Amino acid sequence: MLRVLLVDDSPERTAILRTALEQAGYLVAAVLESPLTLLKAVDSLLPDIIIIDTESPSRDVLEHVVMVTRDQPRPIVMFSSDNTPDSIRDAVRAGVSAYVVDGLEGARVKSIVDVAVARFDEYQKIVAELAEANLKLSERKLVDKAKGILMKSRNLSEDEAYHALRKMAMSRKKRLGEIARNVIDLADFIG
């Protein structure tokens, strides 16, 4: 059962959302009337999903969403009456997975949350792939630089320098990028 943190300052809307979420099989872990305690609540409750219902996302709300997204990413659904392109864009940039305008109908809540979770999962996968690609690119640059150092200092061919780095990485059970960084650092130290 997924745990939901609900943020809404309207008791009427909260009742509608809570009922719809519970009927859909979600557990409403807590209801906050203000987003100002959002980060602390996420820290203590560890919800799986955050749902924010607001007339219009204020700068304070979006700043708290950014902090949650940065520190403890999770799917965030925002129901709002504000359909201006700037508000939608700002909410998505802050980390909202689904921004729903005037769509607070109990029957739609489950499908909206399911879509938000799926979009969040795909986004996290892309973020992880990007981080891995950036790591590989930076490691490749280090390996190329370390190969150049070995080629010059030990009069090796490019292939021999690469194999020397690889052999050292394997024998020390370290990543090739780490060994390359060590070679570069040592060369810098020596001179």
- Whichever domain contains 72, its CATH number is 3.40.50.2300
Domain shared by 136 and 89, yes or no: no
DSSP of the chain = --EEEEEES-HHHHHHHHHHHHHTT-EEEEEES-GGGHHHHHHHH--SEEEEEESS--HHHHHHHHHHHHHS---EEEEES---HHHHHHHHHHT-SEEEES---GGGHHHHHHHHHHHHHHHHHHHHHHHHHHHHHHHHHHHHHHHHHHHHHH---HHHHHHHHHHHHHHHT--HHHHHHHHHHHHHHH-
Q: Is the pLDDT of residue 105 over 80?
A: no
Tally of domains in the chain: 2
Q: Which of 85, 104, 123 is the last residue of a domain?
A: 104
Question: The domain containing residue 163 runs over which residues?
Answer: 132-190
Higher pLDDT, residue 143 or 8: 143
**Confidence (pLDDT) at 103:** 65
Domain shared by 37 and 97, yes or no: yes
Q: Is the pLDDT of residue 136 over 80?
A: yes
Report, as an integer, the average pLDDT of 37-65: 90
Lowest-pLDDT range of 34-48, 135-149, 153-167: 34-48
**Confidence (pLDDT) at 11:** 86
The structure's pTM equals: 0.75
The pLDDT-based confidence of 55 (bands split at 50, 70, 90) is confident
